[in-house]
Structure 1
C-alpha cells in the first residue's frame, strides 16, 4: 500500500457491533473530501448512521456496494492524501450497475453528466447534511464494481464501457436506463414521498434533475411512494419453488438483517439465558386520567402524556426496588455478579418501519413528567427516522413497554437483554369496578412485570408493581412525595 494512500476501516459504531449494512455512498471515486465529511450511510443493528471520514484527500476506492454487509475492522474506503499523484485507472471495464446501462457511454450521456455537474455545483444554497455538492474532481474510477442487488432489477450481459464521469454516482431506475440521479436528488425525492419511477427527466438522455423532483413535489397530484421499510426488502422466490414440508408454493424469501436480525438475536439470548417470571395487576387509572384531563384543560399545549406520568412513577419505584435496575453478568473467571447502577436510563419500546427498537431516556430519574414527555417524543421521532444514535438505543437499564397502543390488555413480554425487567402497560378501557362497596364504571388498565428471577424474588417484583399501581391510582399524592 502506497504511503500516499490512507485506508479507513469500518469502525465499531457502538456496543460492540460486528457488522453494518452499507445503505448508500455519499461520495464517489475522484471526489475531494474533508476531515469529518460524511462518506456513507450504514445501517447497524440499532440505527441508521452517517460515517464521517477521518482523512482528507481524494477518494481512490470504495470497498463495498449498497446492500452489502460489511464487517467491522474491514476496509471501507481508500483515500489518497492531499497532493498525492492521481491513481492511474485500470483498463476500461463495466461501471457499477448503479449507474451504468451496460453499453458504452454515448455523447448524450456525456452531455447529461456535464448538465448534472453544472446543476449540482450551482446548488440550492442549502446543502443537505451528508449530501454536499460535488467538487468536480476529474480522477476516474479505479476498479470495476459488482452488481448491486438493491438497484438492479435484471441481469444484464456486461460489456466494456467507458467509466462514467465523476459526480454521476447515483442510482439506476428500473426501466429507465439513462435516468441517473444524485444522492441529493434521491434524498429530496425520498423525503417528500415522490416516486422516481414516475418522473420524466428533463436532462440529456432522460437524466432526472433537481428541478424535475421539485416540480413533482409542487404538483398537487404528484404520485407519492413512501420509502419501503427496511424490513420489507423481500426477494422473490425462485419460479416454481415448492416447500417440501407444506407442499405449498414459496411466494417470497425475506433476508433477516438489520434491526430484525438484532431483535431476533436479542430475544433468543434473553429466552435462553434469563429465567424470567411474570406478575401482573389490574389498576384503576381513573384518577390519573382525570388529573391529566384537568391539566390539559388548564394548559392545552404542554400537558405531559399519560406515559410520561407512568414513567415518572416507574423511576421512583426503581429507586425503592433497585434490584430491578441492574444487570446480571458472568465475568471472565466464570463467577457471576449483579451490577447495580447509580442512576436510571429508562428505555421504552418504539415500533418503527425498521422494526421494534428501544431508545432510552438518559438519567430519567432526574427528570420531571414534563421533561420525560419531551424526551420520549424526541427519541420516538429520531428512532422512527432511523437516526437514533447507538448510545440512545443501547444504554437502557429498564424498559417500559406501552403495548396498549396496539389495542391489547396484556403480554408475556420478553425482557430486553441484558436488562433484568420490563414493565408493560395495556390499554386503558372502561370496566366495572367496585368503589366503596358500589359497582362503578372506571378506567382500568393492566400492568405486567417480567423479571429475571436470578436478581430478585417475587416479593421484590410484586412490591415494585404494587408501588407503580398505587401511584397511578393516587397520582396527586404520589407526585407530591416525589
Structure 2
C-alpha cells in the first residue's frame, strides 16, 4: 500500500480545510483522478491522486483541517485491498499472477482472471507518475513514498464484510470516477442543497456538470433553499454547534451557534492580525475632485462603444496613476525582510505586482496583476476583470493570489466614503478609494458642485516618512483631478 500525503499547496500555505471527499474507501481510482476538494487560504481546489489502485483509507473527516505533508489517502496499488492477512493464501497467490497492471487495464478496460481462484485482481507494475502539477507538486515517481500494511479489523480500517474492499469486490462493480464539475463552487452549491453529483447528467462541454444542472435538480425536487451564507461556509460535518438553552452568555443572551474560523476567513484574520502586530502603520488621506476623471471615462466609453471594444474602468485608470506614482516613490512597493541575524533590510523589486481587493462569496481575496507596470490602462482593465471573475467563480490559482507588492482597495463600491485600510502583510502600503459624491467645492474662488472622492494611504513607517507618503498621494490626486495632462506623461 502507498500513503499519499497532502501536497504542497503554494507559497506559504501549510494547511487546508477538507470540503469533501470525491471517493470512498473501497473505490477503484486512476492516476490523476480527483480524490478530495480542499479549501486553502487562497481558493478551493481539487487534489488529484498520483496513484492508481483501491482506496484503503481516507485520512480526515469533512471539515477537518489537513496539514501539508501529512497523510491524505492510502491506496492499495498492488490489488491486495489491504486485507491480505485475512483473505488467505489463495487470494495472495491470485494477486501475483495473471493480473493486468492498472495501465494495461486502462487501455483494455478489462481484468483477466487470476490463476488458482478465478478471482479478478489488479497489480501495480510500477510507480509511474503522471507529471501533472497541483500548485507546486507533481505526480512524479513514488520510490520514496511511505508504505505500510494493516491487519484486517485493525483500527481505522474499512468495513470488513465478506471480501470487503478486496480487488474482487471492486471488480464486481464498475470502477467509480468522481463526477466532472465545472468549479468547486458548483460542488459547494450541490452540497448545500444535498444534491448528489453522481446522479446528475452534465449539460456542459463533454458532460461537464454546471451550476444550471444543480439548480435544475433542486427545483425538480422542491429542495429547501441553501442555508445562510455564513453557516454555509462552516464545514458540513462539524456545522454550527448549538449551545444548550441553559448556557449563560453576556447580558443574558443565549448562544445561537458557533462558526469555526477556517479557510479564507482564517487566512484573512491571520494576515491582518500579523499586519497590525508587526507594522508601525501610519495613514494619510486627501479629498480629490474626480469630475474630470469621470468626464474622461465617459468619453472613452462612448468611443469604445462605437468601436465595439471596452473602455478602461475608473479602477484601471487610477491603477495606472498609482503605478506612475510608485515609479516616483518606489519605497511604497517594497518589503521589509528580517535576516537570520535579526537585522532588517528593505527589499526593492524590479517592477510592481499590483493587487486589487475583491469581495467574493467565500470572503475577501486580493488577486495580483504581475508586472502591472508593463500594462496600459486598457490592458490593466482586462486583467483586473479576468482575475476578479476567476476569484468569484472559484477558478483562480494560488499563484494569482500571491506575490503582491502594493494593493488598491476600492471600498467605495460598498458605499463607504472613507476608511483606514489595513496593509496586506508583507506589503508596506495600501491605497483606499472612497465612493464618489457630489459635494460643494471651491473652483477658482467660486463655490460649485463637483464629484469628490477621498483617497487614503496606509503605509509602513519603517520604509518611509510622511514626506514620501504625502508626495505619492498628492501625485495620484493630481492625476485624478487632471487626468488628460497626467496621461500625457504616463
**TM-score normalised by the chain length of structure 1:** 0.74
Q: Does the alignment pair 1:272 with 2:267?
A: no
* RMSD of aligned residue pairs (Cα, Å): 3.6
Q: How does 1:408-423 map to 2 (within 5 A)?
A: 408-423=416-431
Question: 1:12, CA displacement in angstroms?
Answer: 2.4
Cα distance in 2 for residues equivalent to 1:210 and 1:352: 27
| Residue 82 (structure 2) aligns with | 87
Are the counterparts in 1 of residues 286 and 454 from structure 2 also a CA contact under 8 Å?
A: yes
C-alpha distance 249-298 of structure 1, shift in aligned 2 (>3 A): same
Deviation at 1:264, TM superposition (A): 1.1
1:248 matches 2:244? no
Aligned length: 402
> Secondary structure, in 3 states, of the residue corresponding to 2:315?
helix
Are residues 1:341 and 2:354 paired? no
Contact 1:318-1:325 at 8 Å conserved across structures: yes
Question: Greater CA deviation, 429-438 or 187-196?
Answer: 187-196
State the match for 2:445 in structure 1.
437
The equivalences for 1:2-401 within 5 A come to 5-81=1-77, 83-88=78-83, 183=179, 190=186, 209-210=199-200, 217=216, 225-226=225-226, 228=229, 231=233, 235-300=240-305, 301-401=309-409
Structure 1 residue 392 displacement after superposition: 1.4
Alpha carbons of structure 1 residues 185 and 226: separation in structure 2 relative to 1, 3 Å: farther
Bigger drift between 384-393 and 50-59 goes to 50-59
State the alpha-carbon separation in 2 of the partners of residues 344 and 182 from structure 1. Answer: 41
Structure 1 residues 169 and 290, CA gap change in structure 2 (3 angstroms):
farther
Cα contact 1:192–1:217 (8 A) shared by 2: no
Secondary structure (helix, strand or coil) at the match of 1:315 reads helix
Q: Secondary structure at the match of 2:478?
A: helix
Contact 2:240-2:259 at 8 Å conserved across structures: yes
- Per-residue deviation, residues 56-105 of structure 1 (Å, max 9, x unmatched): 44333221222111111111112233x544432899xxxxxxxxxxxxxx
Distance 1:430 1:273 in 2: 38
Aligned to 1:246, what secondary structure does the other structure show?
helix
State the shift of 1:409 in Å: 0.9
Q: Does structure 1 retain, via aligned residues, the 8 Å contact 2:23–2:178?
A: no
Structure-2 separation of matches of 1:215 and 1:451: 46
Q: What SS is found at the alignment partner of 1:447?
A: strand
Secondary structure in 2 matching 1:314: helix
- 5+ unaligned residues in a row in structure 1: which ranges? 92-129, 131-141, 147-158, 171-180, 202-206
Query: 1:410, 1:426 within 8 Å by CA — same for their partners in 2?
Result: yes
State the shift of 1:195 in Å: 8.5
Contact 2:19 2:62 in 1 (8 A): yes
Distance in 1 (alpha carbons) for counterparts of 2:65 and 2:457: 37
Change (3 A) 1:479 1:308: same
Matched, 1:407 2:398: no
SS of residue paired to 2:301: helix
Deviations 1:285-323 (A, max 9, x none): 111111111111121241121001111111111111000
Q: Hey, what's the Cα distance between the residues in 1 that align with 2:404 and 2:42? A: 13
- Please say if residues 195 and 224 of structure 1, whose CA atoms lie closer than 8 Å, have aligned partners that are also in contact: no
> Is this contact kept in 2: 1:185–1:210, CA < 8 A?
no
What is residue 458 of structure 2 aligned with on the other side?
Answer: 450
Would the aligned equivalents of 2:411 and 2:434 in 1 still touch at CA under 8 Å? Answer: yes
- Judge conservation of contact 2:193–2:218 (CA < 8 Å) in 1: no
